[in-house]
Amino acid sequence: MSEPTRAEICAVAIAETFRGDGEIFVSPMGVLPMIGARLARLTFEPDLLLTDGVASLLGNTPPVGGATGPEPIIEGWMPFRSVFDTLWSGRRHVMMGASQIDRYGNQNISCVGDPKQPKVQLLGVRGAPGNTICHPTSYWVGNHGPRCFVEKVDVVSGIGYDRAAQLGPEASRFHEIRRVISNLGVFDFETPDHSMRLRSVHPGVKIETIAERTAFKLNIASDVEETRLPTDDELKLIREVIDPNGTRDREVKE
């Protein structure tokens, strides 16, 4: 088995984000999150529910990126209305993207600049406000830089820990930003004030690089760990079963 690539290390870090989730619906948005969620299901979280990206729940785990593999087995129906029902019920963990994210985990996918007349219009808040107040949310950022990891987001789409705290313990009791995975490292909010912390650094990445490419002051312990490497079994699953076409390496460069 050749050395793992950065994308493969990210896929494993993403899979780890879903560890312990059990029999809930996971919504991984983007190529790497889809690979990571499939990896979690094929290894330590076999009960996760996943869709085909449209409205069918997959009973098996076919590959991503249009690769040839086993025919999908459909185990259920999950149109958008059921997705909303599920997210309000809390039995869901979503991994979204973030055009901007700040130290408390506020996320922006709406627009850059003044919301009245933005410099750049993006997608809109989508489901981020409801997701973040109803169930665990994680983020994936494929290109870690200071324009994404910002001091303050221009629009709060997904709410972070400071906004949740303002709402009080009752309204925020289902709020959890579990992890942020980037191409450089793994981050969480397990600090006294729930400000972002470097949880682990991907092998080959310097901590200084992460600090330089983050526009706010991260919590960084002096003895921060390295993100774990994929096992041989995990590498084999990623390379041969989940993503034989190698779409992962297009999303994350070395």
Q: Which is nearer to other proteins, 128 or 150 (CB)?
A: 128
The DSSP secondary structure of 133-175, one letter per residue, reads HHSEEEEEESS--TTTB-SS-SS-SB--HHHHHHH-TTTTTT-
Q: Which is nearer to other proteins, 116 or 222 (CB)?
A: 116
Binding residues vs other proteins (CB under 8 A): 54-56, 79-81, 84, 87-88, 110-111, 115-130, 132-134, 155-159, 163-164, 166-167, 170-172, 174
Task: Report the relative pairing of strands 100-101 and 107-108 from DSSP bridges.
Answer: antiparallel
Least distance (Å) between residue 90 CB and other proteins: 10
Least distance (Å) between residue 60 CB and other proteins: 18
Instruction: In whole angstroms, give the CA distance from residue 134 to residue 175.
Output: 6
Least distance (Å) between residue 155 CB and other proteins: 5
Least distance (Å) between residue 194 CB and other proteins: 14
Q: Which is nearer to other proteins, 167 or 211 (CB)?
A: 167
Task: Quickly tell me which residue has 């980037």 as its tokens.
Answer: 182
Return the number of other C-beta atoms located less than 10 Å from residue 173's C-beta.
Answer: 11
Buried b (16+ CB within 10 A) or exposed e, 242-254: bbeeebbeebbee
Q: In the numeric block, which tokens belong to residue 80?
A: 């958008």
By the 10 Å C-beta count (0-12 exposed, 13-18 middle, 19+ buried), 226 is classed as middle
Q: Which is nearer to other proteins, 1 or 123 (CB)?
A: 123
Q: Which is nearer to other proteins, 46 or 124 (CB)?
A: 124
Least distance (Å) between residue 140 CB and other proteins: 15
**Which residues on adjacent β-strands are paired with residue 140?**
97, 181
- Alpha helices of the chain — where are they, by DSSP H? 6-17, 31-42, 80-89, 128-134, 161-167, 207-212, 232-236, 248-251
Instruction: In whole angstroms, give the CA distance from residue 249 to residue 254.
Output: 8
Least distance (Å) between residue 99 CB and other proteins: 11
Q: Which is nearer to other proteins, 113 or 203 (CB)?
A: 113
